[in-house]
């Protein structure tokens, strides 16, 4: 029986806290430790919350508080004093590299306002992993505002949802790759609106060849290149559109699942002329690279691992490199 105040590790042990690179999840009423996909979730205060309640913008004195944050509980506002500092409050200018702190952010619960941006940056790439703007708090009716920047593309390649509030993309004279119709697919309500005005016109964008990559579908894109597509014409590999997966040749060997290229398990033997695996996982290899234990390919046969009734399991490899159970009278394999 697992105590209510404990969590279960992937090894079945009861612990008080999850270890590094894991976090708590609820599975059927049981708290378990799950491995983090990249950085573990970390919630940080945004503008309007906690120690930033009365702060009006991100600046050089508070930006370090967003290090390794995956979720911002509150708002993000980047205005003139963010980049250029403020002599009246002794706020220094910001080093442009400091903006990279936002690359870990996946969610903003409030609004995102950007009305000043470094001229040397052609997109909002520090926010390239942002997936959701919730709009629980808004600037008027707006949850996303991007105005009077010199960027030529947004680069918000991971953005999937604007939960509430309106979008305003205004007076960005060099900005291509964005249309009002692009935003409707991100909205959760018919009441939400997108105002896209006084950005670069279509003729200018075409003249500059600021158009979507050929690997994108006609749905559009966030900027140039095959990693900025809304959707891929053929296949997707780790967020970038490609013509084909490495099924019969190329490295690493892959399989295609829902038009996404996924690497075969390392224990699969690399095949030439036929598929190395049918689906991800060590139980779906065409042939094992080392040994086969039941349905799975393994680096070696089990040696003293816990089995049923806490009995230790010992196996050996036969001439076909298939793992077989040692005789029950064997105690150490």
pLDDT at res. 303: 87
Both ends of the chain: CA-CA distance in Å? 32
Burial class (CB in 10 A: 0-12, 13-18, 19+), 19: exposed
Does residue 20 sit in the same domain as residue 136?
A: no
Q: What is the pLDDT of residue 291?
A: 96
13 compared with 275, residue with greater pLDDT? 275
Which residues partner with 73 through β-bridges?
45
Element holding 203 (H helix, E strand): helix 202-207
Residues 24 and 105 in one domain: no
Based on the domain organization, do 23 and 87 belong to the same domain?
A: no
Residue 21 has pLDDT above 90, yes or no: no
Statement: residue 19 has pLDDT above 80:
no
Q: How far is CA 126 from CA 131, 157, 261, in A?
A: 13, 11, 26
CATH of the domain at 301: 2.10.220.10
Same domain, 305 and 161: no
Q: Does the pLDDT value for residue 320 go beyond 80?
A: yes
Confidence of residue 1 (pLDDT cuts 50, 70, 90): very low
**62 and 179 both lie in a single domain:** yes
pLDDT of amino acid 78: 97
Q: Does residue 57 register a pLDDT over 70?
A: yes
In a domain, 185, yes or no: yes
With 0-12 / 13-18 / 19 or more C-beta atoms within 10 angstroms meaning exposed / middle / buried, residue 89 is exposed
Residue 116 lies in a domain: yes
Q: Please state, in angstroms and rounded to a whole number, the distance separating the CA atoms of residues 141 and 124.
A: 22
Decide if 299 is inside a domain: yes
- Rounded to whole angstroms, the Cα distance separating 333 from 313 reads 8
**Is 114 within a domain?**
yes
Query: The domain spanning residue 84 has which CATH number?
Result: 3.80.20.20
Helix (H) or strand (E) holding 207: helix 202-207
* 264-279 mean pLDDT: 94
Q: What are phi and psi of 182, to 5 degrees?
A: -60, -35
CA–centroid distance for 140 within its chain: 29
Whether residue 26 is found in the same domain as residue 87: no
- Give the domain range for residue 283: 254-325
Q: Is residue 245 part of a domain?
A: no
Q: Are 126 and 94 in contact (CB under 8 A)?
A: no
Element spanning 237, H or E = strand 235-237
| 158 and 288, same domain (yes or no) | no
Please write the tens of the pLDDT for every residue from 170-180: 999 999 999 88
Residues 56 and 139 in one domain: yes
Is the Cβ–Cβ distance between 292 and 316 less than 8 Å? no
For residue 332, how far is the Cα from the chain centroid?
A: 45
Task: Kindly state whether residue 281 falls inside one of the protein's structural domains.
Answer: yes
**Are 48 and 32 members of one domain?**
no
Mean pLDDT of 16-35: 74
> What pLDDT, in 10s, does the model give residues 208-233?
999 999 999 999 999 999 999 999 99
Query: Considering the domain boundaries, does residue 302 fall inside one?
Result: yes
Together in a domain, 121 and 146 = yes
Question: How many domains does one find in the chain?
Answer: 3
In terms of domains, do 101 and 200 share one? yes
pLDDT at 8: 62
Q: Judge whether 101 and 130 are in contact, CB under 8 Å.
A: no
Name the average pLDDT for the chain: 91
Q: Are residues 30 and 48 in the same domain?
A: no
Host H or E run for residue 304: strand 303-306
**Residue 23 belongs to what H/E stretch?**
strand 22-27
Could you tell me if residue 232 is inside a domain? no
- Please identify, among 172, 207, 242, the residue that sits at the C-terminal boundary of a domain: 207
Per-residue pLDDT band for 11 (boundaries 50, 70, 90) equals low
Strand partners for 254: 263
């Amino acid at each position: 029986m697992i105590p209510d105040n404990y969590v279960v590790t992937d090894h079945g042990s009861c612990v008080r806290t999850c270890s590094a690179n894991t976090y708590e999840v609820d599975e059927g009423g049981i708290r378990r430790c799950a491995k983090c996909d990249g950085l573990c979730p970390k919630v940080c205060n945004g503008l309007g919350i906690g120690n930033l309640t009365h702060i009006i913008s991100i600046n050089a004195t508070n930006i370090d508080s967003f290090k390794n944050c995956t979720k911002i509980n509150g708002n993000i506002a980047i205005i003139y004093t963010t980049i250029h500092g403020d002599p009246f409050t002794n706020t220094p200018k910001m080093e442009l590299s400091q903006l990279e702190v936002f690359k870990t952010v996946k969610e903003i619960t409030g609004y995102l306002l950007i009305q000043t941006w470094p001229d040397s940056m052609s997109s909002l790439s520090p926010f390239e992993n942002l997936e959701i703007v919730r709009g629980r708090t808004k600037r008027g009716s707006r949850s996303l505002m991007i105005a009077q920047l010199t960027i030529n593309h947004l680069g918000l390649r991971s953005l999937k949802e604007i939960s509430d509030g309106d979008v305003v993309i205004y007076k960005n004279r060099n900005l291509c790759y964005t249309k009002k119709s692009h935003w409707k697919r991100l909205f959760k309500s018919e009441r939400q609106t997108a105002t896209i005005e006084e950005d670069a016109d279509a003729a200018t964008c075409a003249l500059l060849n600021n158009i979507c990559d050929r690997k994108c579908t006609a749905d559009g894109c966030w900027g140039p290149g095959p990693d900025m597509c809304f959707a891929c014409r053929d296949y997707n590999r780790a967020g970038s559109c490609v013509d084909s997966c490495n099924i019969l040749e190329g490295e690493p060997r892959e399989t295609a699942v829902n038009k996404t290229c996924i690497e075969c398990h390392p224990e699969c033997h690399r095949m030439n002329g036929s598929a190395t695996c049918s689906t991800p996982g060590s139980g779906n290899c065409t042939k094992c690279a080392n040994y086969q234990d039941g349905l799975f390919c393994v680096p070696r046969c089990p040696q003293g691992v816990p089995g049923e009734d806490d009995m230790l399991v010992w196996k050996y490899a036969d001439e076909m490199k298939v793992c077989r159970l040692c005789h029950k009278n064997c105690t150490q394999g």
